[in-house]
Amino acid sequence: MNREISGLSSMATRPILAELSEHIRLAHGIPVRFEAAGGVETARRVREGAEADLLVLADGALAALEEQGHLVAGTVRPLWISQVVAAVPEGTPIPALGSASDLRAALLSAKKIAYSTGPSGAALVDLISSLDLTDRLGGRLVQAPPGVPAGSLLSSGQADLAFQQHSELMDLPGVVIVGPLPGDTAISSLFSAGVLRSSTQPERAREVLDLLGSDTATRTARARGMRAPGAE
């Protein structure tokens, strides 16, 4: 009987990995299970010795863990690119996002702005700084707890504008996605994967890693708001 391949991931890739794990089990006979948490929390767990076969995280976080010796050398590969999108509560006016001026107006008109932990949240804070809006918006920014979608703050009434990875917002009830950020303000994250040094089945983990980079995986990722590197 095939032993299960276990993986750790951030929340952004959770829906893609759940669907692909089921496909790999049915089509290739390999049981796969990923456990998702906030990216910062997942990286902490790896540094503290969490045992698993595969790791899927934002590329920068993964590269740091590789440099620290937590990943098998030569196994890291890019998987998918995800864009940060803006969202509003269902039933509320949808702001224009055709230009940087539109984005600036949307930010200034929002009473509370939800954003996530991890690289995409840090990138949004940097973007607000580059727009010279830090002082004006500082008191309006609401960071979602680790592992909690920023969009959930929309449906709960804690925010009226949210920014997060498309994959984490697209299926939330009571949330309407406005679209990606315009032009030079666009924020995207590359998610990569690699075999963990703690893996007890590194060769089979490599096999699953190859399947995560397959055409089937690319189609699944696209349906979930991500794309393969180099794809339009």
One domain, residues 95 and 118 = yes
Residue 170 pLDDT: 86
Beta strands 188-195 and 77-89 are antiparallel
11 and 69 co-located in one domain: yes
Do 167 and 89 lie in one domain? The reply is yes
Tell me the two tokens of residue 6: 């276990």
Q: What pLDDT, on a 0 to 100 scale, did the predictor assign at position 230?
A: 75
Query: For residue 13, what are the CA distances in angstroms to 20, 131, 194, 217, 220?
Result: 11, 29, 14, 12, 11
Q: Indicate whether 68 and 112 sit together in one domain.
A: no
Tens of pLDDT, residue by residue, the chain (232 residues)? 468 999 999 988 999 999 999 999 999 999 999 999 988 899 999 999 999 999 999 999 999 999 999 999 999 999 999 999 999 999 999 999 999 999 999 999 999 999 988 788 899 999 999 999 999 998 999 999 887 889 999 989 999 999 998 988 888 899 999 999 999 999 999 999 999 999 999 999 999 999 999 999 999 999 988 999 976 5
Amino acid 149: pLDDT: 87
Helical spans, DSSP H, in 131-186: 134-137, 152-155, 166-169
Indicate whether 41 belongs to any domain. Answer: yes
Residues 97 and 171 in one domain: yes
Distances, alpha carbon 190 to alpha carbons 47, 88, 132, 161, 220, in Å: 21, 24, 26, 24, 16
Question: Are 55 and 110 part of one and the same domain?
Answer: no
Closest to 32 in 3D by CA, of 18, 16, 11, 50: 18
pLDDT of residue 2: 66
Read off the CATH number of the domain in which 173 is found: 3.40.190.10
Same domain, 164 and 103: yes
Under DSSP, the state recorded for 71 is: B
CA distance linking residue 151 with residue 18, whole number of Å: 20
Name the residue among 157, 151, 92, 94 with its Cα closest to residue 120: 151
Q: Are 88 and 160 within one domain?
A: yes
Residues 6+ away with beta carbon under 8 Å from 90 = 155, 174, 175, 176
- Residue 232 lies inside a defined structural domain of this protein: no
Say which residues have a Cβ less than 8 Å from residue 181's Cβ, sequence separation at least 6.
Answer: 83, 84, 85, 86, 97, 103, 127, 163, 187
pLDDT for residue 171:
83
72: containing domain: 5-81+190-227
Looking at residue 231, its pLDDT comes to 66
Task: Report d(CA 56, CA 195) in Å as an integer.
Answer: 9
- Is 73 in the same domain as 86? no
| Cα angle 123, 129, 131; round to 5 | 105
Q: pTM for this one? A: 0.85
124 lies in the same domain as 175: yes
Into how many domains does the chain fold? 2
Q: Are residues 213 and 179 in the same domain?
A: no
**Locate tokens 């940060």: which residue?**
84
Report the C-alpha gap between 35 and 23 in whole angstroms. 17
Q: What distance lies between CA 34 and its chain's CA centroid?
A: 14
